[in-house]
Amino acid sequence: MRIWVQVFSSRARNPNFHAALEEHLRSIVSPGVQIEVHGTRKGGLGEQFRFFQAIDTPDIIENILKCREAKGDGRYDAFVSLNSTDPALVEAREILDIPVLGFLETTALVSCMMGRSFALITPNPKFALSYAQKIQLYGLSDRLASIEAMDVPHLPDYRQAFIDPAAHARVMTEFDSAARRAVAAGAEVIIPCGSHAVLQARRGLREIDGALIIDGLGILLKMAETAVGIQQFMGTFVSRKMLYQTPGAVVREKAKLDYGIDLS
């Protein structure tokens, strides 16, 4: 099984994050499962701003097409977006014939099986609106206890936390404070959303004030493995009725002529 893992972060800009993420994911997946982590060209500067999300999302669209074009032994069995705002999730499901899973949607749904309510821990307050809107889109607002923000306004500040113990301790202290606020707001399950999810997962803290802290990264990969198995006996993992309807033959032919994109 081969899984394409997509992140906003640029490998060139954030090599320590990519290394830590890959090491953690490989410790989670089942034997024989291969993962490939792909970033964007410049991402990781400020995805809390819709402006930078919009700039970096075309790289993700391009990678979705690369994943689709892979054939034979190089074919991927699932596409996983580890970006916690789930960019281009619908777009990927429209054109990929393999399971497509997004971090926020998957972890929120799994959290609903683990507890009555969940909370999100974000890097900074600016991110909160994006998450709240996505949770509403997924129909899970009634299960959301709160969205608590850490004080990391500049996302590249996370880079030091992967190599500097003092910086790591500061980020984890910020996370713990936000998590305790979430528990006070009624959360039974805590979802770390952002680069700190890797730091938190690697330190192994699974509970705070009685609430479960999930490893959303590991859960997402395990759910991807499960989705591949479901597709094998169902024949598909996505409904083509409406939202994830695939472009028809006429549109595909026009896309080849007008966009230079082969969706056949």
Render the chain in DSSP notation, one character per residue: -EEEEE-SS-TTT-HHHHHHHHHHHHHHSPTT-EEEEE--SS--S-TTSHHHHHHHHHHHHHHHHHHHH--GGG--SEEEE--TT-TTHHHHHHH-SS-EEEHHHHHHHHHHHH-S-EEEEESSGGGHHHHHHHHHHTT-GGGEEEEEE-S--SGGGHHHHTT-HHHHHHHHHHHHHHHHHHHHTT-SEEEE-STHHHHHHHHT--EETTEEEP-HHHHHHHHHHHHHHHHHHHS-SS--SSTTPPP-HHHHHHHHHHT-----
User: Is 13 within a domain?
Assistant: yes
What is the reported pTM?
0.94
Cβ pair 183, 211 in contact under 8 A: yes
User: Is 29 within a domain?
Assistant: yes
Amino acid identity at 261 = I
Cα dist. 78→33, 71, 81, 197 in Å? 11, 13, 10, 21
pLDDT at 110: 98
CA distance 236 to 239: 8
The tens digit of pLDDT for each residue in 49-101 reads 889 889 999 999 999 999 999 999 999 999 999 999 999 999 999 999 999 99
Cβ pair 124, 196 in contact under 8 A: no
Total structural domains in the chain? 1
As a whole number of Å, the end-to-end CA separation of the chain is 24
CATH code, domain with 91: 3.40.50.12500
The tens digit of pLDDT for each residue in 64-75 reads 999 999 999 999
User: Is 246 within a domain?
Assistant: no
Q: Which domain range does residue 71 map to? A: 2-221
User: Is 217 within a domain?
Assistant: yes
Sheet containing strand 34-38, strands side by side: 34-38, 2-6, 78-81, 100-102
User: Is 174 within a domain?
Assistant: yes
Q: Hey, CA dihedral for 190, 48, 39, 203, is it positive or negative?
A: negative
pLDDT at 179: 97
The tens digit of pLDDT for each residue in 144-180 reads 999 999 988 777 777 788 889 998 999 999 999 999 9
User: Is 22 within a domain?
Assistant: yes
- pLDDT-derived band of residue 45, with 50, 70 and 90 as boundaries? confident
User: Is 230 within a domain?
Assistant: no
User: Is 63 within a domain?
Assistant: yes
